[in-house]
Chain A
């Protein structure tokens, strides 16, 4: 765990979106979700356990994802999360919001005017 605490708000919203997006391809457990995000981002984004599990439980409590216990590929009991219909809608909304934000950020950052 890194010594400095990154700003929580930004991470929280972003992490939620990343989790939802990852689960779009099917059920997965916490560790796999973290790995998936890390790999897909080209190792740029590292998901801290201390943020991941609270986020998963929060999303579950909101009803955006569902959880049940299944056996993993290696035959161990693991908690698998799946996207719910609400979660799917939320993903669409969040994603467009994020894209809008990213475009706006890019426009501001790349602008040449003072």
Chain B
């Protein structure tokens, strides 16, 4: 050791700081070289011993006596060392390390119990971490747009007729540009449906790519620019401007081999030359799945206020609050209704959504509910671990008593339990991260494809931080119960009394009762949620969606190029006739938009001839489908009354429609026979009337959960194209697809088919989120149930082991074993019941968050709640009765003698 000196510092401050430094150096030295310091201390004490010995020999003792006496005078050498060592240590850190090493030894010694606790915690942390990584990827990680929170998506709604999405027309872009709070505005279609482009590169087979027509300020409003080439300019959007396109990174990679030379080159798009002016950077996937972007306002639709198919993207000027923005936009829309009453109704209202919320949509509540459920599971895992650590502490009472009598302070003991908790928490955290890592991979595979960015979920810095916080919380949970016992009561005397007294103590019992109570409450919440979602999925899958033929193949064949309505009709008539001729085909038809494509599709207001009193904005709205004859037979929608369309329902014949049962029933209630009643679409009085010739079963056109009116018109009586082929036959999906592809190529080799899916697959896709939620919640619910049962079991086991003498005496005195079991489980089951009640309160309180996710069942469903409560009580009764039963079966004599 260096002989550093404090020096002659004249001021006390210097002396103080120098001595402080020196003390710090000694401590660091001690921390870094514990063994050297130890050796030195040993040597010092050894020297003391030899001096003592020599002194005694000098005063006439024998060597043996001297040695003995010297050692006696030195006292308890390890204790002296321990006391001396303490002086030179950074106590907290050092103590922590030593306590953690000790904790590891303890864990090894009683491995099964601790391994179980740590595994349960690791699973809890792993699941929570995995779900959090999804939340992080989908909801928390910023979008690739700078200052994303100032970007808004704008459309209108009409609550009066229940239309949540009223679209904008191009001229409204100019209206919105006059709003002061908006820095820049652009428009894009509300859905990508129908804008697919067939692109042809060189001599390759043409491919269909989703294209997004956008106004030229689109990317500037989002705050991004192409990574190669240039952005759109106002000149690109003029009528008659040369066709240009910006490619997405993915399309550039897949179909253009990432060749930079493509910039400025012309490709064939829908048979027309188009110049590639830019490549977007890879993160930009907006609107979702856009393969390329083209200028929007290049046709006559630009001027028409009636052509509503758009929504606006706007960047808010800095300094404007949400309410200011909303007020300004609302007053703009109110002004529009005054200025152009023929286009806008006064009941329309502005819907202004921030881009992040628009982006995640309903994935937000679903993911947050899953995260909440996983955290609840972790909480019950913590309760399990806490219970276990408490039991271990009680079981180790004699060890602890020994340590106390050897001079350890109760602070030491508490520190020891804290260190055990921390060690367990860290191990569980590490294990949890590994489990989480695997779970993330599995969840991404199981997750529905339509949750944006979910596939990007990974363990990043924030997820690590989250896992670390969870680990610390679990550490706290593990050590808090033993620590509470240790600090609240006089540990010393309590522990000397022995484990059984402590376990039987009121505090120990109360704590375990609290554990049972908390676990039960959490389990009720999780079981209820998972049962509700199971019923939801079950109802969705068993809903009569009106499409009986689940194996029917649907595929997109939107004709590109120079097709006028007559040519289109001829193409389809020709194609369907060829397909029907094939022996492997039972039915072939075509439709404007296949079912279950989500919110996209046409909504049209309609009025019946017998009831023309309604104002235009009060007209009911129906889905609008254009179909070929044979469509209902192909897709399996039963024709209830009247007839299907025929080839005679053409341009020259009387206009006809087929309606769904809902409309027919309403007409009947109003005293009119639906068949033969005439309908008219839209608000303009120029549209001609169409006669109802048939009634079909109601369908879930937009989605399994969406009901609404259905109206079908024959394809030859409208200018609106059919876009999807619906084909049913004996061959496989691939056979039927290639058959269609072959027949299409025979008529027009430049067309491409896309999005081949059966109705079953469409149903799968539509129910994917609910099924994913079900998977998660069922896992969490089952986990919680197991832990609760294990908890009740272990509390019961402990309680009967404490009372085994009492039980033995009662048995010996001839008590009825069944009554005794009932007596024993009584207290525990009362806790369970209380927990169930509190769980019910939580379910009732959180019901409204759940109700959006549910279908075919409500959060307060009495049968669901009842079965959860009864089931949980039954499981708890079994778990509690087993230890009690075992206890009453023991031979009372051996128990009483054994003690």
A, B bound? yes
A94 within 8 A of B: no
- Give the CA-CA distance A48 to B84 in the complex, in Å: 13
- Given A50-B76, A67-B1, the answer on whether A60 and B44 have CB atoms closer than 8 Å is no
Residues of A within 8 A of B54 (CB): 74
- Give the CA-CA distance A78 to B54 in the complex, in Å: 15
Residue in A1, A54, A85 whose beta carbon sits within 8 Å of that of B87 in the complex: A54
Residues of B within 8 A of A49 (CB): 45, 48, 73-75, 80
Cβ A63 vs Cβ B47 within 8 A: no
The count of residues in chain B whose C-beta lies closer than 8 Å to any C-beta of chain A is 40
A77 within 8 A of B: yes
- Give the CA-CA distance A78 to B48 in the complex, in Å: 9
- Digitize B43-80: 1 where CB-to-A-CB distance is under 8 Å, 0 elsewhere: 11101101110110000000000000000111110011
- Given A1-B75, A49-B73, the answer on whether A66 and B3 have CB atoms closer than 8 Å is yes
- Give the CA-CA distance A85 to B52 in the complex, in Å: 31
Residue in A72, A76, A86 whose beta carbon sits within 8 Å of that of B19 in the complex: A86
- Give the CA-CA distance A76 to B626 in the complex, in Å: 109
- Give the CA-CA distance A29 to B52 in the complex, in Å: 13
Residues of A within 8 A of B647 (CB): none
Residues of A within 8 A of B40 (CB): 79
Q: Which of B1, B41, B51, B76 has the most CB of A within 10 A?
A: B51
B162 within 8 A of A: no
- By beta carbon, the residue of chain B nearest A74 is B54
- Given A50-B75, A50-B76, A86-B6, the answer on whether A61 and B87 have CB atoms closer than 8 Å is yes
- Digitize A56-71: 1 where CB-to-B-CB distance is under 8 Å, 0 elsewhere: 1110111110111100
- Which B residues, 1 to 36, have Cβ-Cβ distances below 8 Å to chain A? 1, 3-9, 15, 18-20, 22-23, 26-27
B717 within 8 A of A: no
Interface SS of B by simple majority: helix
B779 within 8 A of A: no
- By beta carbon, the residue of chain A nearest B2 is A68
Cβ A76 vs Cβ B47 within 8 A: yes
Residues of B within 8 A of A62 (CB): 19, 23
- Give the CA-CA distance A91 to B48 in the complex, in Å: 25
- Give the CA-CA distance A32 to B5 in the complex, in Å: 23
Cβ A50 vs Cβ B1 within 8 A: no
Cβ A79 vs Cβ B44 within 8 A: yes
B257 within 8 A of A: no
Cβ B84 vs Cβ A69 within 8 A: no
- Given A49-B75, A53-B80, A68-B1, the answer on whether A58 and B19 have CB atoms closer than 8 Å is no
Residues of A within 8 A of B44 (CB): 30, 53, 78-79
Top 10 nearest A-B pairs (CB, nearest first) are A63-B19, A1-B75, A31-B51, A57-B87, A53-B84, A54-B83, A31-B48, A58-B87, A61-B23, A68-B3
Kindly list 7 other residue pairs between chains A and B, CB separation below 8 angstroms, not including A30-B44, A57-B84, A61-B26.
Answer: A48-B75, A49-B48, A54-B87, A60-B26, A61-B23, A61-B88, A67-B3
Contact surface of B with A, Cβ cutoff 8 Å = 1, 3-9, 15, 18-20, 22-23, 26-27, 40-41, 43-45, 47-48, 50-52, 54-55, 72-76, 79-80, 83-84, 86-88
A-B contact pairs, 19 of them (CB 8 A): A1-B76, A29-B48, A29-B51, A30-B48, A31-B48, A49-B73, A49-B74, A53-B41, A54-B86, A54-B87, A57-B84, A57-B87, A63-B18, A63-B19, A64-B19, A76-B47, A77-B47, A79-B40, A85-B8
